[in-house]
């Protein structure tokens, strides 16, 4: 699956600088990192430097140290993962309001999650989000939101399958024209996901006894609707169809490229086709009451196949299993 861990444009407790939060990550498994709160200007400068490694190519898209310090000192949560003395990952967010018909409701807006390229596929992104989950719960908030590119299979697998976030919000070109190496040239469409941090669904995904992953066969045997069939170009790249079937039934499967960034590098026009085709699919599904509730990655001879699982009839899954 592709390499990208960015939230947001791509997402405090009164702790002393350097105080451990969520304790060592190896409480759950033997891992080499330590995750703790960040508060000082020096620590935030290290976060700046890590952003340049994770998302090279656009200095103007870097979140500056002075803003990170302000977030940390005014109710936000900035967490860093260290291996010895080296910062290898971070996540930050801040309190916000969700405007609902019956009035504004508090939430935590998670803006960025970044992992050093040498530490991808290590479980560090999951560990950082779990630490964030613990801190936000301690603040008394029950809802975290963030955005990510719905065509990035790796991010989808982390956010939906592993963390238990759900989504029924599609944002078109929400960050305008982006200039970093991962996002340049395409509309910055994003999913905005909902993470109901006190729900049984999320608690079980984050526990040591996390549920068994459901494979593609499970959903196919449950008579899930496959919205469209994809084909491959002569070069082996996944190509979207011209149209998709009308949505019907309770569960629908939506396929995306398993490595969109590589596809984009090889065939930019095809990447644009995927952006606009998937935009139409997801906007149509969300308008009809479908909710993204799971994500499936299956290895194959072509490298892998990736599917979103959309369920009809659920509004939030805030209290679901």
Using 50, 70 and 90 to split pLDDT, how confident is the model at 6? low
Query: CA-CA distance, 189 to 193, in Å (whole number)?
Result: 13
Question: What's the token pair of residue 109?
Answer: 């807006």
pLDDT score recorded for residue 179: 65
Q: Is the pLDDT of residue 28 over 50?
A: no
- pTM, two decimal places: 0.87
Average pLDDT, the chain: 87
- Higher-pLDDT residue of 319 and 305 is 305
Q: Residue 44: phi, psi to the nearest 5?
A: -70, -30
pLDDT score recorded for residue 182: 65
Q: What is the mean pLDDT of residues 290-313?
A: 91
b/e sequence 2-19, b meaning 16+ C-beta within 10 Å: bbbbbbbbbbbeebeeee
Q: Is the pLDDT of residue 284 over 50?
A: yes
**Is domain 20-206 in CATH 3.40.50.620, yes or no?**
no
Long-range contacts from 205-210, C-beta under 8 angstroms, 24+ separation? 205/162, 205/163, 205/164, 206/130, 206/133, 206/163, 206/164, 208/28, 210/162
Q: Residue 238: phi, psi to the nearest 5?
A: -70, 130
User: For 142-200, what is each residue's pLDDT tens digit?
Assistant: 999 999 999 999 999 999 999 999 999 999 999 886 665 566 779 999 999 999 999 99
Query: CA-CA distance, 139 to 75, in Å (whole number)?
Result: 9
Annotated domain spans of the chain: 20-206, 216-312
Q: Are 48 and 184 in contact (CB under 8 A)?
A: no
> Can you list the alpha helix ranges (DSSP code H) found in 159-305?
200-206, 216-221, 260-266, 268-287
What percentage of the chain reaches a pLDDT higher than 90? Answer: 74
Q: Residue 15: phi, psi to the nearest 5?
A: -105, 150
Query: CA-CA distance, 4 to 296, in Å (whole number)?
Result: 18
Helix H or strand E encompassing 229: none
pLDDT score recorded for residue 170: 98
pLDDT score recorded for residue 319: 47
pLDDT score recorded for residue 44: 98
User: For 106-131, what is each residue's pLDDT tens digit?
Assistant: 999 999 999 999 999 899 999 999 99
**Residue 243 neighbours by CB under 8 Å, 6+ apart:** 228
Cα 223 from chain centroid? Answer: 28
DSSP code of 138?
H
pLDDT score recorded for residue 112: 96
Using 50, 70 and 90 to split pLDDT, how confident is the model at 13? very low
List of E strands, the chain: 20-24, 34-37, 77-83, 86-100, 103-115, 143-148, 166-171, 190-196, 225-226, 231-232, 238-239, 251-256, 290-298, 305-312
Q: Are 290 and 168 in contact (CB under 8 A)?
A: yes
Query: CA-CA distance, 79 to 113, in Å (whole number)?
Result: 10
According to the per-residue pLDDT averaged within each range, which of 9-18, 60-69, 127-136, 299-308 is highest? 127-136
Q: What is the mean pLDDT of residues 238-255?
A: 95
**Residue 183 neighbours by CB under 8 Å, 6+ apart:** 9, 10, 149
User: For 29-87, what is each residue's pLDDT tens digit?
Assistant: 577 999 999 999 999 999 999 999 998 877 878 999 999 999 999 999 999 999 999 99
pLDDT score recorded for residue 183: 67
User: DSSP letters along 65-80, please?
Assistant: HHHHHHHHTTT-EEEE
């Amino acid at each position: 699956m592709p390499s990208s861990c960015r939230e947001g444009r791509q997402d405090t407790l009164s702790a002393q600088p350097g105080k451990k939060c969520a304790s060592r990550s190896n409480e759950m498994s033997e891992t080499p990192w330590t995750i703790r709160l960040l508060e000082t200007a020096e620590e935030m400068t290290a976060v700046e430097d890590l952003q340049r490694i994770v998302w090279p190519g656009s200095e103007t898209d870097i979140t500056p140290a002075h803003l990170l310090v302000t977030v940390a000192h005014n109710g936000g949560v900035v967490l860093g993962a260290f291996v010895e003395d080296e910062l290898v990952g971070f996540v930050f967010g801040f309190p916000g309001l969700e405007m609902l018909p019956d009035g504004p409701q508090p939430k935590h807006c998670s803006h960025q999650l970044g992992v050093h390229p040498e530490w991808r596929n290590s479980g560090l992104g999951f560990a950082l989000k779990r630490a964030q989950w613990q801190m936000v719960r301690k603040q008394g908030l029950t809802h975290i939101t963030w955005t990510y590119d719905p065509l990035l299979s790796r991010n989808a697998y982390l956010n939906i399958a592993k963390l238990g976030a759900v989504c029924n919000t599609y944002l078109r070109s929400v960050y305008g024209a982006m200039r970093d190496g991962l996002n340049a040239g395409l509309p910055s469409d994003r999913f905005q996901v909902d993470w109901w941090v006190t729900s049984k669904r999320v608690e079980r995904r984050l526990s040591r006894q996390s549920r068994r992953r459901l494979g593609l066969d499970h959903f196919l045997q449950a008579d899930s609707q496959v919205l469209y069939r994809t084909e491959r170009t002569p070069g082996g790249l996944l190509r979207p169809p011209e149209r998709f079937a009308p949505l019907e039934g309770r569960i629908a499967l939506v396929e995306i490229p398993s490595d969109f960034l590589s596809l984009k590098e090889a065939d930019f026009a095809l990447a644009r086709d995927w952006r606009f085709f998937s935009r139409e699919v997801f906007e149509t599904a969300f308008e009809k009451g479908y909710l993204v509730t799971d994500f499936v990655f299956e290895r194959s001879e072509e490298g892998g196949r990736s599917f979103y699982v959309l369920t009809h009839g659920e509004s939030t899954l805030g209290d679901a299993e």
